[in-house]
Amino acid sequence: MRKVKYAIEMGGGYTCIYVKGEGLALKEPSLIAAEPTADGFKVIAMGNDAKKLVGKTKENVEIFTPCAYGENSNYEYSVILLKHFLSKVGFKSFEDRAIFVVPCGLTAHEKENILNVCEGANLGHVVLVPSVLCSCVGEGRNIDSSKVNMIVDIGGTATDIAVINMSSIIKGATVGIGGKRIDASIVNFLAYSEGLVIGLPTAEILKNEVGSLYENDTLNMEVTGVDVETKTPKTVCLFSSELRKAIEPFYSEIVRAIDTTINTLPPEIVADIINNKILIVGGGAKMQGLDDYLNKHLKYPCQISEDVDNVTILGAGKLLSDSQLLDNIIKNL
């Protein structure tokens, strides 16, 4: 591909845009805030501005993440959001080409949805590159060799597991587990165990601040919500060891999915995976105690990326300057 200027990752949590020659130019929540009008819905905020409104708006204002792909993709709002973000990084020309980072294992229909969104946002020629390939490149791994790499990307809405060699995915799986499901689990756990109603933003803060996979972690945090029975304000002190009950089952399921994937592979590939270690990326890889948890519950060595949040978009950015590797990837898509 010639003149590839942009790398775009429109994830369930954040949208990132890397501009060739400039670096990571944008990273904002993939959120839209809209309110109903006589003619439909009016967008009142996007990105960072929309996140500031979470939990603080009128009841009729909806704040959501439009999905650029999937059977229930929201084409109109995905286009609006992508256009908004592109305008913030100086996008002007329909001739500019782009890499669009996507989950592995998308159907033809889902890929078509993404390409339609890119066309609606006036992007020129777009190539869809699996995020797991970009993450490996960002981590500095050689994906263009016969040596096999395995990667696990714990994202906002799903977890991708992939086995890679010769610039292509030779085995892949997607598990419907991500940060947002963990947030929802925390909300349900507190309602059941403490009789406390909190919102998803508060659950996300709890997860990030005191979430831990260590069995006896003593981290704690006061959290305020609404009492289930009295509907009055209520504050409780929550310990990491308690919160673990809402978090650990998801990571246990991810471990099982990794084991299941490896168990289907030939011994030669497994040997490469052991030698190279399984690369762990994505926002869910920031969970405290994850390294220790994987060592205890997984038979294979793992390496958590030092930059789990940005390694994928930075890898896509590297591809903008490595036309040979990008061409090799495209040939194997």
Could you read off the pLDDT of 3-39 as tens digits, one per residue?
Answer: 789 999 998 889 999 999 999 999 999 999 999 888 8
Return the DSSP state at 87: H
Specify the domain boundaries for CATH 3.90.640.10 within the chain. Answer: 179-246
Prediction pTM value: 0.91
Q: What is the pLDDT of residue 190?
A: 97
Which long-range contacts (C-beta less than 8 Å, at least 24 apart) are formed by 26-29? 26/85, 26/88, 26/89, 27/310, 27/313, 28/85
Indicate the CATH number for domain 146-174+247-304: 3.30.420.40
Domain 4-30+65-135+311-331 in CATH 3.30.420.40? The answer is yes
Sheet with 233-239, side-by-side order of all strands:
196-197, 220-227, 233-239
Those residues of the chain that have pLDDT short of 70 are 1-2, 68-73
Domain with CATH 3.30.420.40 in the chain: 4-30+65-135+311-331, 146-174+247-304
CATH code of the region 179-246: 3.90.640.10
What is each CA distance from 154 to 180, 197, 254, 261, in whole angstroms? Answer: 11, 27, 9, 15
Helix, strand, coil percentages (3-state) for the chain, rounded to 5, are 40, 30, 35
* Residues 277, 177 contacting (CB under 8 angstroms): no
